[in-house]
A and B are shown apart, each in its own frame.
Chain A
Amino acid sequence: MIVSDFVLREWSAWAPGMNCKADWKEWYAGRRTIQHDDKAIISDAVPKMLQRRLSPLARAVFNASDKCLEPGKSIPTVFSSAHGEVCKSLEMLKTIQAGDEISPTAFSLSVHNAIAGLFSIAYANSLESTVIAPGLEGIAPAFIEAFGLLSETANEVLLVLYDEPIADFYPISPFNLNAEIPCALALRIALSGNGLPLRFSRSLESRDDGEHPVQLLTFLRFLLAEESSLSLGNQGHSWRWDKI
């Protein structure tokens, strides 16, 4: 069942050591590896007083998104992350457990939409912003949300998929819900225009492709690959992307 045809107008991704499309192509070809202690560079346009509030994951989101933005132009945004910054919440719980007071700054930025909020302030982006925690459903719900916006009034939507490895405290096995690297993938999509034309449809296949952090890297590989279609599903719904 076809849900929507759309155009990928621009994309950009960041992971430690991967700063541009050429880096990702090298990574895909097996010639470049992740540099674990690398920190994402962010635009000078982001006010210094806001930059100090950005966690490594927020920096990854800003870095990837920045290359998909048109200067001075607001765009509706859909952010999607399975775990968000749950590691920060865990640190705060440990602080409370130890009987210490928690940092008001850390507390104010511990919600799932904290990065989206900082993004809208930093870029003075005044249009709609949605943040999705897709649970088992992987990356598809973010696309569905974006198509909703495109079918209403938006000409373009910025879709940002991101996740970082979760703390050892949380049980991972037997679920396929953790990626080994932090990664942010930004996609600027529209219903028409120049770019890579894609079709998004629902599939009846039963699949087990892992959760959001794993699917986001699979989707990134699909963008770099010659393959013309990608199916992703996890315990129930399956979805398919075709290059058309």
Chain B
Amino acid sequence: MENELKQLIIDALDLEDISVDDIDSHDALFNEGLGLDSIDALELGLAIRKKYNVKIDAEKEDVVKIFSSVSALAKYIESARS
């Protein structure tokens, strides 16, 4: 799941120079970590909705926590789907 998510991040966000192995599951995705920004958060939210049919509602959910790392995101998607 985590590797699948990493590939989704690379494809959805045009991270051409980055491979799955370059992304640490526990590193921060935004700002100082992978360096993603707010537009990427929206793009990633859309990609996750399309692929996993999981909607992340910015009004109800703690999006900072959900998007904090690949590991956190994978856990959230798995729990939302079950």
Q: Are B13 and A52 in contact (CB under 8 A)?
A: yes
Contact with A along B34-73 (1 / 0, CB 8 A): 0111011011001001100000000000000000000000
For chain A, the bracket of interface size reads under 10
Q: Which residues of chain B are near A48, meaning CB under 8 Å?
A: 17
Interface SS of chain A: helix
Q: Do residues B42 and A52 form an inter-chain contact, with CB atoms below 8 A?
A: no
- A18 CB, min distance to chain B CBs, angstroms: 25
Q: Which of A52, A101, A103, A108 contacts B16 (CB 8 A)?
A: A52
- The CB with the most chain B CB atoms within 10 A, among A48, A49, A103, A108, is that of A49
Q: Are B46 and A104 in contact (CB under 8 A)?
A: yes
State the CA gap A105–B42 with chains docked (Å): 8
| A53 to B37 Cα, complex, angstroms | 12
> Which listed residue, B14, B15, B35, B46, touches A101 by the CB 8 Å rule?
B46
CA distance A105 to B14 in the complex (A): 11
Contact string, A75-119, partner B, CB cutoff 8 A, digits 1/0? 000000000000000000000000001011100100000000000
Known: A103-B43, A103-B46, A105-B40. 8 other contacts (CB 8 A): A49-B35, A52-B13, A52-B14, A53-B14, A101-B46, A104-B39, A105-B42, A105-B43
